[in-house]
Structure 1
Amino acid sequence: MSASGVNYWAVLVGAAVYFIFGALWYSKGVFGNAWMKGIGKTKEQLEAGYSPWKLVWAFIGSLLAAYGMARILSWIPGATLSTGIMLSVLAGIFFILVPISIHDVMEVRPCKLTAINVFYHMIGFVLIGIIIGAWR
């Protein structure tokens, strides 16, 4: 824990778990094929546009999400594991479900694609909330 109330090790672990969870979630054996169908791309098209910088940006985003969760939890006196879970569920509903749904409705994206993307982030946030909330 640092003087700011943020446990940077928990942030790093939370970010890594969120990032790895994404690799599993979007893998061929889980939702990868449905996701590719939803975005209208083939594996070959995605591979042609591959850049390691996309993964770097994804990990930076994971770090920012974990840090944000840790920062908010540091402002809540006596925050615990249950606080972390509750905060992450609320953040998932209000800051993930709502904006992604609005975005996808306007772009006429398939509901299945919206569900795949929304639930990845919502579950990822809960994983971060569990780690940050428990590791205080």
Structure 2
Amino acid sequence: MELLNPVAMLVAAVSALFVGFIWYNPKVFGNAWMKSAGMTEEDVKGGNMLKIFGLALVFAFLLSTALPGIVIHQMGVFSLIGGDPSVALPSYEAIMADYGDAFRTFKHGVFHGVLTGVFIALPILGTNALFERKSAKYIFINAGYWIVTLGLMGGIICAWR
């Protein structure tokens, strides 16, 4: 059983951009985000969009490569054999035969993705924002995006085998 699915990780990375298009739309949280970030529409339009979206996709892909270890429980067993099933003892195959599909659902991946957002993304973004003297609104808009995004990415990665 393959635990790492590069196509799922790429789709999960692209999903981060789609969520961002919706989340930061002026009709959703875009205007509130711009105001809390101290940005204007001219500031937003003045950026190098190819660079911004290209790097955002690269960063989202980096996140998607870390998520399997968080959202797929079988990665723990996989890590015990050093990532090479060809050198594993027969017990590895027995465990994977019994538990290889356990908790491999979209719902379970969303659960762990959301927990990742709450317990990793929120504290990191919140700490940075506090030192940057940003408002609670700024923290919750950005952390909310990452909580939703990591939930969706986790669901995609966990369910897509």
Common fold: TM-score over 0.5 = yes
Which residue matches 2:7? 9
**Aligned residue type for 2:104:** T
Distance 2:43 2:60 in 1: 25
Distance 1:79 1:57 in 2: 32
Which residue matches 1:40? 38
Distance 1:50 1:27 in 2: 18
User: More displaced, 66-75 or 47-56?
Assistant: 66-75
| Correspondence for 2:137 among 106, 112, 122 | 112
C-alpha contact (below 8 Å) 1:17/1:128 kept by paired residues: yes
C-alpha contact (below 8 Å) 2:69/2:76 kept by paired residues: no
| Correspondence for 2:119 among 74, 94, 119 | 94
Which residue matches 2:150? 125
**Aligned residue type for 1:26:** Y
Residues 16-71 of structure 1: per-residue CA shift (max 9 Å, x gap): 11111111111111111111101111111222233411110000111111121124
* Identity rate, percent: 31
Distance 2:12 2:61 in 1: 8
Count of aligned pairs: 134
CA RMSD in angstroms, aligned pairs only: 1.8
Which residue matches 2:82? none
Larger Rg: 2
* Gap regions ≥5 residues in structure 2: 78-101
Which residue matches 2:68? 70
Which residue matches 1:21? 19
Q: TM-score, structure 2 length as denominator?
A: 0.75
* Gap regions ≥5 residues in structure 1: none
| Correspondence for 1:52 among 47, 50, 53 | 50
